[in-house]
Amino acid sequence: MSSLFALLSLATVAFGARPFLSYADTGIDVALSGVPNGTLPDLSEMKALNDFEWVAERNLNESSWAFYRAGAGGEWSYRNNLESYGRLRFRPRVLTDITQIEQNMNTTLFGHTFSAPFFMSPFGRAGYAHADAELNLVKAAAEENILYVASMHATKTLDEIASAKAEGQITGHQFYNEGTDEDTLAYFQQVEAAGGKAIFFTVDSAGDGNRHRAARWSVTSSDSGYTYATWDYYKHLQNLTSLPIIPKGIQTVEDAKLAIAYGAPAIFLSNHGARQLDHVPSSLEVALEIHEESPDIFQQIDVFADGGVRYGSDVLKLMALGVKAVGAARPFAFANIYGVDGVKKALQMLKHEIAIDCSNMGLNDVHSINSSYIKLNNPIWNGWYS
């Protein structure tokens, strides 16, 4: 116990001794120092997903930036979402044939095949970055054959998003419990009519988030107040549609088990982008908890996860623990400032990073990754998720 307190004390000192960085210093400040704020650099200058955040901060108005960037409370969970990946180490293998990795990225989700093991998580108000809002997201997703999960709090209507879909394109749709059963049934029917193939039920926002940064510009949560939602209510929702309803916001192994007990077809590890409750674990830490305490869960149902994903290596660390597919939101929200081409480039970047990282880990198929490719008994994890 004393060693645990010592480790946590050291972590506190480390957190206080250095600035709060949202993204790594890759030289973009120097390379693009001549580009004035309010001017978009050429899209070819974007070399990493974090570059889009750098551009967005300098081009969005203050309220739009605050909406996208805000976390809950002191934003410690926001920071931890980003930093937790750096506390888990890879164990790469060498001298293996990796030349077919780009042909072995396809991923099947609820019976449909996509080009990579990641997807666009739902995020609201895409119109804050671009007038075409979610239309850019769905079009870019179609071109890259990536799953797009549309937010229930989108700028564009569900019908407008559906009309922008390519022929045969598969989408998912977020759901909040915000009305009567009649409202819910009508929404589910609208999703079905729009060709949606899965509903992601957000279960981690029973109350509004304390988003102080966003509150300064009155752009806090669209899902305000206190929301009724129980496991019995989840069971009730399953009777209102034939589509799979996936609980999004699982943060403990106990709730992962309950989801299975209540017939969930999959679970989604998420802390809502650290926007609801501060001082909660990252999805990587939750995945580690499940892997250590009940690893059979990953065999029983598909597990999705998001939160703080900025690199291909982040995706692979979650997959090594058993996650089937990984979501990202903010990078695509920021990339949308360039419209369809920006979102498409961001998708391509993440695909490329995953393929490159796989090759350098000795993987010829992204789905071959498992826990032997990461260092699990690293003492630096002690106390971070318990």
Which residues are known binding-site members?
122-124, 151, 174, 176, 202, 211, 248, 270, 272, 275, 306-310
CA dist 103 and 185 (Å) reads 40
Distances (CA, A) of 73 to 76, 190, 223, 286: 8, 35, 17, 20
Task: List the beta bridge partners of residue 302.
Answer: 266
- Axis crossing angle, helix 340-361 with helix 134-144, rounded to the nearest 10: 40
The enclosing H or E element of 137 equals helix 134-144
CA dist 260 and 189 (Å) reads 25
Residue 99: partners with Cβ closer than 8 Å, 6 or more residues away: 364
Annotated binding site for FMN: 122-124, 151, 174, 202, 248, 270, 306-310
CA dist 274 and 308 (Å) reads 9
Mark whether 153 is an active-site residue.
Answer: no
CA dist 29 and 51 (Å) reads 10
CA dist 313 and 311 (Å) reads 5
Nearest to 7 by CA among 375, 381, 385, 386: 381
Q: Are 98 and 358 in contact (CB under 8 A)?
A: yes
Quote the Cα angle for 113-117-119, to 5°: 90
Annotated binding site for glyoxylate: 176, 211, 272, 275
Q: Which of 130, 212, 236, 272 is catalytic?
A: 272
Residue 94: partners with Cβ closer than 8 Å, 6 or more residues away: 362
- What does 330-358 look like in DSSP terms, one character per residue? HHHHHHGGG-HHHHHHHHHHHHHHHHHHH
- Residues serving a catalytic function are 272
